[in-house]
Structure 1
Amino acid sequence: MGATKEKAFSPSPADSTDAGFRIEKKGADNVVGDADSARQGELQRSLSVRHLNFIAIGGTVGTGFFLGSGTALERSGPAGALIAYVFIGTMLWSIMVSLAEMATFIPTAGAFSKYATRFLDPSLGFAVGWLYWFSWATTYALSLSASGIIIQYWNASISPGIFIAVFWVVFTLVNYLPVGIYGELEMWLSSLKVVTIVGFIIFAICMASGVGDEGVLGFKYWHNPGPFREYMVEGSIGKFVGFWAVLIQASVAYQGAELIGVAAGEARDPRKTVPKAIKTTFWGIMIVFCVSIFLLGMLVPSDDERLSSASGNASASPLVIAANRAGVKVLPDIINAVLLTAVLSAANANVYSGSRVMMAMAEEGLAPRILAKTNKQGIPIWAVAVTSLVGLLGFLNLSSGGTTAFNWLLNISGVAGLTTWGSTCASYIGFRRALIAQGMPRSDLPYAGAWQPFMAWYGLGFTVLIAFTQGFTAFIKWSVSDFFAAYISLILFAILWIGHKLKYRQGFVNPADADIVRGRYDSNDARDSTDEGV
């Protein structure tokens, strides 16, 4: 970080009481020795760049990509869908660079609630943390339920409940293994998805060039039925409505890339691994999504009725629809197998991310302290157990009455990701103000993102806008149930934030008093910091 003079940082009395931390000076470059660092020391810094990349890919590229991309094409047309995915990609970049700057300086497990608590407002950290944890825990239930539905593609007589139970046991046990083993397993599961997507891109280029029953396609479907589609209403407004609907869908599809921030506390030499992982993950996911959407728009007309299928298995995938139109019949089984690995990879990542967020909240005093307890392998044993138990909600989906309740729970997860994105940008703005107030130049940070803080303001503004408009279809054709299904997560977020604020009466963090010391990573103490497999 360069030779700088350390300022005499004075943590607030509340922080000192809660964490009982001490500050030990080790020279201009090293500030370590607090209780948070000691607890972080119980975590195993075993994750390399490739592990971080695939953890993020595992949490991002799932059924939402393999099935949801067809809905995007149907609602907005090939041009509308592509523009929406590119635009949300720029938002994601603003969030990732903001996260990278904080996570390389203070790498901590479950970073989002901690950064919000320390740089903005403890009540905001409480609301963000619990909502984000709940979103991953319920998504675990969704992944388990989806696995059974996907397997029924081959044998409809088998009850999905069998696979919910089997995979629940398997992935709960996997998350009690050392984090290095977890990272390797997630890498191989995610690799299958990456190989499939690369294979599809090659296949799509061949089909568009004339290898298939339909001959040369090129931009045929961009002309007829057209580059944009009307959605819910007619005319130009209908085309804009379709675009905005896909914008919201794309924001949910990209969620999971921020998991690098969750894993930063277990990254090997985070000053090197976290920035590299964030850059490669962002560009990898951005290219995969945008190129795939572009090619799908060339292979499948946006008015194909099969795009609106709600089967939940390979038959609803636009990749399969494209293959069937080209006369390739073997692909559905292959895609269904990939879908299965996608949801299993997601299930693995769900328990990991949820448990680390819960552990982070416990360390900040926002959850029971016992949830911060780790075993000798650095696994937060109680946080994993509690997160895993929520996965049993997947059994709700087996009954018609439970399906409605289950879907309401899952509606919380999409907007929970948006609140996390928004809080990350807002936390960065608070972090930036704290650096200025306490006399620390950005040049001393291990990583400094470009165009800051403008990128953080850009990400925050559009994240808030999308979060508040994501249920707009309920107003076009008014439905009370659709309204509450869309906005239940924001209502819950407000209840958590205001409730904590009223109970504890804690004010917003003064930038001059913000804690920018606790948990700082000391590169001189890094052990086994080689960048394996990069």
Structure 2
Amino acid sequence: MASGDPSTRSSTFTGTHIEPIDVDEGKDHPEAPEVFIGGDGDEELGAFSAPPVGDGGKGEQLREVLSERHVNILHDGGPGGAILAYVLTGTIIWSVIASLGEMTALMPVKSPITEFTTRYVDSAVGFAAGWMYWFAYCCVFAAQITASSSLMAFNYDKIIVWKFGADLSPVLWIFIFLIYMTATNLLPVRIYGEYEYFCGCIKMVTITGLILLMVIITNGSSSLPHGEKIGDKYWSGPWAGFFARSISRSAFGHPYTFSGDKGRLLGIWSAMTNAIFSYIGMDIVAATAAENKNQGNSESIKMATRKISLRIILLYFFAIMTASFAVAYDDSHLLADNHGLKSGASSPFMIAIFNAGIPVMPHLLNTFFIFSSSSAGINALYVASRTLHALAVSGRVFGGPIARRLKITKFGVPMVAVFTSASFGLLAFMSTKAKPTKVLQGLISNSSVSMMLVYMVISLAYTFFYRE
């Protein structure tokens, strides 16, 4: 939402009734969000500013596309296990987002995760939830920088190699993506919103095209260089092709392999953990509902929240399902560390396209992966910075001078909060001294666990909300 918008309004709670407060009166109201003036005189009202989510569809963009980092789920869980992981996780996440959307529809506040948990659970829980939410998106931001820089060194069996990417130091690529993602978040909010809408449209169209391409490759086509029909070959056998037969992990420097029922359970659990990371970001739909121009119609906000989440879950479901038919779950290329492969080559989409012999397409697909990762990183930094700004405005940041600086905005952008959150991107430099996949997995695990705790708190808040 652009600062200075005359339609900008805030709200306070009186039971389940919302009393609107005019901006001009807000400064004297004891519960009204403070208004801070940036260096250029722009105003930022409330604790969370976001691109509008209205008829234009902003906020409907996919936060992430199933690239190689997430569809290694296929290797861990097997074809059926991967689908099961996405369905189970998607059901849980959809329920949480629907609950958050219903609360936000009735009480469209800024920073709903912090405010609702504070109001319906406990102020200490709201405090913790807000900071965990911020931390989770900071980790997502660092993970996307790591992924984007790693994707530049594209290498598929030394047959397809991005020499220009591999020759340059990964430190340089990390620095470039860190600057690019941070600079984009310094754009005025309206411009940023249009940029995100454009990126979302590209992602939606591309992943739909990939789903159709996987169907064509699976069924075979004479137009493909290697057009033999795959069919259900990778799903054949009673349970043999449904779940992974075993899963290997290392702990304290020792490798462990689990097979049988224990291996299948661990594979599903591992797949679900990674699937959670793919779904992080759907909460933004509810978080930006306070900026919806139709916020007076609570039903429209509730339905929009549920429909958008359902669309994303269905796209992920069809993407992983079609990919599981096109690529064997035990294909060695699915593991990024095998054969000296770099990120990008381990995507099942990439493997299927390469095996089908489609020229040029691997280069385009890896370019799309880079675009997707960088776009997701930009979005993560946006949420992290606005969350930090919200915590400062609501008095949940200790230190008077620090909190005061975090509240200040310019052109509607909390620049100090952006730079503070962007500092987490420096974690990506750890990948220059270790395998990028290990650093990436660590960041994914941290963000996934943090968001699961936040989702648990949201569900608890909704339970108390529903009782009132």
If the length of structure 2 is used for normalisation, what is the TM-score? 0.79
CA distance in 1, matches of 2:119, 2:148: 39
The offset of 1:157, in angstroms, is 0.7
Give the match's secondary structure for 2:242. Answer: coil
Answer yes or no: is the 8 Å Cα contact 1:314–1:332 preserved in 2: no
Q: Is the 8 A contact 1:53 1:277 kept in 2?
A: no
Secondary structure at the counterpart of residue 60 of structure 2: helix
Residue identity in the other structure for 1:392: L
1:92-491, aligned counterparts within 5 Å?
92-153=93-154, 154=162, 155=164, 156-211=166-221, 212=224, 213=226, 215-224=228-237, 226-232=241-247, 233-272=258-297, 274-310=301-337, 311-368=341-398, 369-370=403-404, 373-375=407-409, 377-400=411-434, 408=442, 411-433=445-467, 436=468
Q: Secondary structure at the match of 2:246?
A: coil
Residues 209, 109 of structure 1: alpha-carbon distance in 2 compared, 3 angstrom cutoff: same
Distance 1:254 1:410, change over 3 A: closer
Identify, as 1 or 2, the structure richer in strand: 2
In 2, the alpha carbon distance for the partners of 1:402 and 1:315 equals 14
Quote how far apart the aligned CAs of 1:333 are: 0.6
Alpha-carbon separation, structure 1, partners of 2:119 and 2:194? 32
As a proportion of its length, which structure holds more helix?
1
Which amino acid is 2:219 matched to? S
SS of 2:91's equivalent in the other structure is helix
Deviation of the 1:158 alpha carbon: 0.8
Cα distance change, pair 125–313 in 1 and its aligned pair in 2 (3 A):
same
Q: Which residue of 1 aligns with 2:252?
A: none
Residues 217, 326 of structure 2: 8 Å contact kept: yes
Partners in 1 of 2:151 and 2:50 — Cα distance? 35
**Equivalent residues of 2:273, 2:445 under 8 A apart:** no
Q: Using the alignment, how far apart are the partners of 1:76 and 1:357 within structure 2? A: 34
Computed over aligned residues only, the root mean square deviation of the Cα atoms, in angstroms, reads 2.9
The equivalent of 2:79 in structure 1 is 78
- Going from structure 1 to structure 2, the CA distance change for 1:401 and 1:190 (only over 3 Å counts) comes to closer
Distance 2:359 2:85 in 1: 31
Within 1, Cα distance between the matches of 2:132 and 2:13? Answer: 34
The aligned amino acid for 1:387 is S
2:59 is aligned, of 52, 63, 66, to: 52
Q: Which moved more, 1:244-253 or 1:413-422?
A: 244-253
1:508-519 to 2 correspondences below 5 Å: none
Q: Distance in 1 between matches of 2:107 and 2:231?
A: 49
- Where do 5+ consecutive residues of structure 2 fail to align? 1-9, 36-43, 155-161, 248-257
Query: CA offsets, 1:217-238, max 9 Å, x none?
Result: 2222110552222234333343
The alpha-carbon distance between structure 1 residues 51 and 126, as it changes in their structure 2 partners (threshold 3 A), is: same
Higher mean displacement: 342-351 or 185-194: 185-194
Q: How much does 1:351 deviate?
A: 1.3
Query: Is the 8 Å Cα contact of residues 53 and 293 (structure 2) preserved in structure 1?
Result: yes
Q: CA deviation at 1:95?
A: 0.5
Q: Kindly state the Cα deviation for residue 30 of structure 1 after the two structures are TM-superposed.
A: 4.0
Distance in 2, matches of 1:364 and 1:418, equals 23
Structure 1 residue 46: Cα displacement: 5.0
How far 1:23 moved relative to its partner?
Answer: 6.7
Distance 1:210 1:406 in 2: 35
Cα distance between partner residues in 2 of 1:46 and 1:237: 45
CA distance in 1, matches of 2:269, 2:436: 31
Quote the Cα distance in structure 2 between the aligned partners of 1:142 and 1:223: 36
* Greater CA drift, 204-213 or 348-357: 204-213
Comparing 354-363 with 337-346, greater Cα deviation is found at 354-363
Cα distance in 2 between the residues matched to 1:123 and 1:364: 13
Partner AA of 1:203 in structure 2: L
Does structure 2 retain, via aligned residues, the 8 Å contact 1:230–1:241? no
**CA pair 418-371 structure 1, distance change in 2 beyond 3 A:** farther
For residues 404 and 302 of structure 1, the distance between their equivalents in structure 2, rounded to whole angstroms, comes to 21
In structure 2, distance between residues paired with 1:319 and 1:114: 41
| Residues 135 and 312 of structure 1: CA distance in aligned 2, closer, same or farther (over 3 Å) | farther
CA separation of 1:313 and 1:274: change in aligned 2, threshold 3 A: farther
Instruction: Check the 8 A contact 1:45/1:267 in 2, yes or no.
Output: no
Q: Cα distance, 1:423 vs. partner?
A: 1.2
Once residues 81 and 361 of structure 2 are traced to their aligned partners in structure 1, the CA distance between those partners, rounded to angstroms, is 27
Report the CA distance between 1:387 and its aligned residue: 0.8
Check whether the contact 2:80–2:243 (CA below 8 A) recurs between aligned residues: yes
Alignment of 1:6-21 (within 5 A): none
Within 2, Cα distance between the matches of 1:404 and 1:249? 13
Q: 1:203 to 1:121 in 2, by over 3 A?
A: same
Are the aligned partners of 1:209 and 1:217 in contact in 2 as well (CA < 8 Å)? yes
Deviates more, 1:139-148 or 1:341-350: 139-148
Corresponding letter in the other structure for 2:129:
V
Deviates more, 1:285-294 or 1:263-272: 263-272
**Cα offset, 1:288, TM superposition:** 1.0
Q: Distance in 2 between matches of 1:130 and 1:170?
A: 25
Which residue of 1 is the match for residue 4 of structure 2? none
Which amino acid in the other structure matches residue 151 of structure 1?
M
Q: Which amino acid aligns with 1:411?
A: S
- Per-residue deviation at 1:312? 4.9
- What are structure 1's unaligned runs of at least 5 residues? 1-20, 437-534
Provide the rounded CA distance (Å) in 2 between the counterparts of 1:93 and 1:407. 24
Aligned mates of 1:241, 1:219 — CA distance in 2: 25
